[in-house]
Amino acid sequence: MECYYCVYLMGIIVLLMSWWFVKEKNENSKRNMKVPKGNSGWPLLGETLDFIASGYTSRPLSFMENRKSIYGNVFKTSILGSSVIVSTDPEVNKVILQNQGNIFVPAYPKSIRELMGEHSILQMNGNIHKKMHSLIACFLKSPQLKARITSDIEHSVKQCLASWTHKTIYIQDEVKKITFTILIKVLMSVGPGEDLELLKREFGEFIKGLICLPIKFPGTRLYKSLKAKERMMKMVRRIVEERRNVMMNNNNGAVNDVVDLLLRDKGEFSHSSSSLVIEMISQNIIEMIIPGEETLPTAMTLSLKFLSDSPLALSKLMEENMELKKKKMDSSYDYTWTDYMSLPFTQNVISETLRMANIVNGIWRKAVKDVEIKGYLIPKDWSVMASLTSVHLDEKNYENPFKFDPWRWEKIGVVASSNCFTPFGSGHRLCPGLELSRLELSIFLHHLVTTYSWVAERDEIVYFPTVKMKKKLPIRVQPINT
Ligand code: HEM
């Protein structure tokens, strides 16, 4: 009898072991077969040095191109401390960015995660994120906001341009004065003055810690950045509190900025105490400065760089904008936001700038489960980077991709859903500042080319850690006689 039980037990164990063995073998072979090919480089360093070095050359794509030619459009590498699957394929990128079924979550470096609160829109996921995103996107692209903010943008642009004559100016720094003022106005209606200066100063200190070693004690970069955030929080908290008090007396006022918007629709914070609501809204406001503060001024700077190198495009842009200026002067009506957005060549210059500038060169995500896209397996917990630059500068997608050619858009048309043109990302996290950015760029270009001619000094674009001009693009401007 005992012998019978032993054989029985052995049988079960053998069965279980064979099942486990077959399962493991299948999973391993699934992983081995389909995880994209690639090289993990040196221990710890991976291929980071190669990646950074290519960012400092005039061919930032060389890192991607070399690997693409050996391993194909989707490959494996190890950069900035993590194993990552890089996609240069527009269809694979689309699936990653669409994120059906919440398979991918944002994957930011540790220093960025430390600086952003867990309630930041950049770190939220699932339904909470969906709700917050659509709330902010609807507000930022609303015709009411655009109508209201147009004269503020005009004012800010004209004021800045007026200070440019008779000296060399550094475009990269100058345009920040325009975009920061507008961003803060949109977020919390703070105009020029002490509060704006404090925010400018402290945000400059805060942002320095976004890419740094994640070590936090007095004296370290991360610590200084967190301290700057505390100082900003104190000011923003005061504004949110004041606004909340006004709103308690009258809840039917207009929504003028993102503070109003979040206070009105507390959403995920609705069950939290009043002080927690103020805390979370204040944090969100500060964290929303991050994606808008650097991107738009870089787009303005690079538009000027590309135009300086393309006299034909500049002359056509000027002709189109002069026509509008003349029309407005003859009619003596103010400009509306639709006037600025109605100029087709100007919109093509903006699209071409965004395609070539690649201000956000790639979008990082982490897979929360195994996922197969177009035959490639992305295993759970792996990072994945959808390279936008590779798609925007691929000759399969754009003829003569390194040439600044706004006319190409007359044939292509600005197809918002195109997989091959995603400077603002796509899917659930499509940039909510897209339309506002295009409007600001249009107003900036209009007043620039109808007021000044300029001579730009020779300068180069650097692509690491973010896209910038090596010498901040020095130019000298000359008023034109209109
Ligand atoms: C030329 C200018 C800009 C470019 C190229 C740009 C690009 C992008 C991209 C590619 C993303 C998607 C990131 C991802 O999928 O993880 C994004 C997200 C975002 N952008 Fe922009 N952006 C620009 C301007 C702005 C401005 C002016 C604002 C603020 C008013 C803004 C606010 C945001 C926010 C809040 C998100 C996060 C959305 C979310 O995760 O749901 N951006 N941006």
Ligand 1 centroid, distance to 299 Cα (angstroms): 13
Most distant pair of Cα atoms in the chain: their distance: 109
* Ligand 1 contact via 424 beta carbon (within 6 Å): yes
**pLDDT at res. 207:** 86
Q: Are 192 and 181 in contact (CB under 8 A)?
A: yes
- Looking at residues 111-123, what average pLDDT do you find? 79
SS3 273: coil
The residue type at 346: T
| DSSP bridge pairs for 106 | 365
Range of the domain at 460: 126-358+393-479
Question: What is the rounded distance in angstroms from the CA atom of residue 429 to the CA atom of residue 210?
Answer: 20
Ligand 1 near 121 CB (within 6 A): yes
Q: CA 323 to CA 151: how far, in whole Å? A: 20
Q: Confirm or reject: Cβ of 295 under 6 Å from ligand 1.
A: yes
* 337 and 443 assigned to the same domain: yes
**Separation of alpha carbons 467 and 18, rounded Å:** 54
Q: Is the CB of 388 under 6 A from ligand 1?
A: no
Report the pLDDT value the prediction gives residue 246, as an integer from 0 to 100.
Answer: 87
- What is the reported pLDDT for 56? 79
Annotated binding-site residues for heme read 431
Order across the sheet with 168-170: list the strands.
168-170, 474-479, 452-456
pLDDT, one tens digit per residue, over 121-152 is: 888 888 889 999 999 999 999 999 999 999 99
37: confidence class by pLDDT, cuts 50, 70, 90? very high
- The answer to whether 9 touches 16, Cβ cutoff 8 Å, is no
Average pLDDT, stretch 418-442? 95
344 and 457 both lie in a single domain: yes
Q: Is 141 found in the same domain as 11?
A: no
Residue 137 counted as domain residue: yes
pTM above 0.85, yes or no: yes
Q: Which residue has the tokens 């000094």?
A: 457
Does the pLDDT value for residue 22 go beyond 60? no
Q: Is the CB of 122 under 6 A from ligand 1?
A: yes
Q: How far is the CA of 424 from the centre of ligand 1 (A)?
A: 6
Token reading at 186: 């949109």
Q: Which two tokens stand for residue 149?
A: 């903010």
Q: Is residue 5 part of a domain?
A: yes
Higher pLDDT among residues 349 and 166, named by residue: 349
163 and 17 assigned to the same domain: no
How many residues in the chain?
482
Q: Both 20 and 142 in a single domain?
A: no
Q: Out of 119-128, 160-169, 245-254, 303-312, give the one with best mean pLDDT.
A: 303-312
Assigned domain for 161 exists: yes
Q: Is residue 81 part of a domain?
A: no
Q: Is residue 303 lining ligand 1, measured as CB closer than 6 Å?
A: no
**360 within ligand 1 shell (Cβ under 6 A):** yes
300 and 426 in one domain?
yes
Listed in sequence order, the residues at least 6 apart from 445 whose beta carbon sits closer than 8 Å to its beta carbon are 303, 317, 321, 346, 349, 350
Question: Where residue 20 falls among pLDDT bands split at 50, 70, 90?
Answer: low
For ligand 1, what atom is nearest to the CA of residue 187?
A: 30
For residue 364, the CA-to-ligand 1 centroid distance in Å is 14
* Residues 243, 257 contacting (CB under 8 angstroms): no
Highest-pLDDT range among 32-46, 50-64, 244-258, 420-434:
420-434
CB 90 within 8 A of CB 74: no
Q: In terms of domains, do 165 and 20 share one?
A: no
Share of the chain above pLDDT 90, in %: 66
Pocket lining: 362 vs ligand 1, CB cutoff 6 Å: no
Nearest to 156 by CA among 197, 185, 118: 185
Positions at the binding site: 431
Q: Which pLDDT score, from 0 to 100, does residue 309 have?
A: 97
Sign, Cα dihedral of 42, 46, 52, 57: positive
pLDDT tens-place string over residues 63-103: 999 999 999 999 999 887 778 999 999 999 999 999 877 89
Is 90 touching ligand 1 by the criterion CB < 6 Å?
no
- φ, ψ of residue 377 to 5 degrees: the values are -95, 125
Show the tokens assigned to 64. Answer: 């991607």
Average pLDDT of the chain, as a whole number: 88
Q: Do 348 and 201 lie in a common domain?
A: yes
Residue 24 has pLDDT above 50, yes or no: no
Contact at 8 Å (CB) between 328 and 154?
no
Counting the structural domains of the chain, the total is 2
| C-alpha of residue 346 to centroid of ligand 1, in Å | 21
What single-letter DSSP state applies at residue 38?
B
DSSP 219: T
**Is 290 a pocket residue for ligand 1 (Cβ < 6 Å)?**
no
| 282 assigned to some structural domain | yes
**pLDDT of amino acid 119:** 77
pLDDT score for 115: 80
Measured in Å, residue 430 CA sits from the centre of ligand 1 at 7
The CATH number of residue 232's host domain is 1.10.630.10
pLDDT of amino acid 120: 83
Ligand 1: which of 268, 300, 431, 467 to mutate, judged by most atoms within 8 Å of the beta carbon? 431
- Which of 131, 139, 258, 295 most suits a substitution to test ligand 1, by most atoms within 8 Å of the C-beta? 295
Report pLDDT digits (tens) over 368-385. Answer: 999 999 999 999 999 999
Task: Convert 269-301 to b/e letters by CB count within 10 Å (16 or more is b).
Answer: beeeeeeebbbbbbbbbbbbbbbbbbbbbbbbb
Q: Give the Å distance between the CA of 190 and the centre of ligand 1.
A: 21
Identity (one letter) of the amino acid at 447? H
Q: Which residue has the tokens 């081995």?
A: 32
386 lines ligand 1 (CB under 6 A): no
- Please check whether residues 330 and 222 belong to one and the same domain: yes
In this predicted structure, what is the pLDDT of residue 452?
94
In percent, the amount of the chain with pLDDT more than 70 equals 90
**84 neighbors 70 (Cβ within 8 angstroms):** no
Asked whether residue 148 is assigned to any structural domain, the reply reads yes
In-domain check, residue 76 = no
**Quick one: tokens of 431?**
């940039």
What's the confidence (pLDDT) of residue 3? 55
53 located within any domain: no
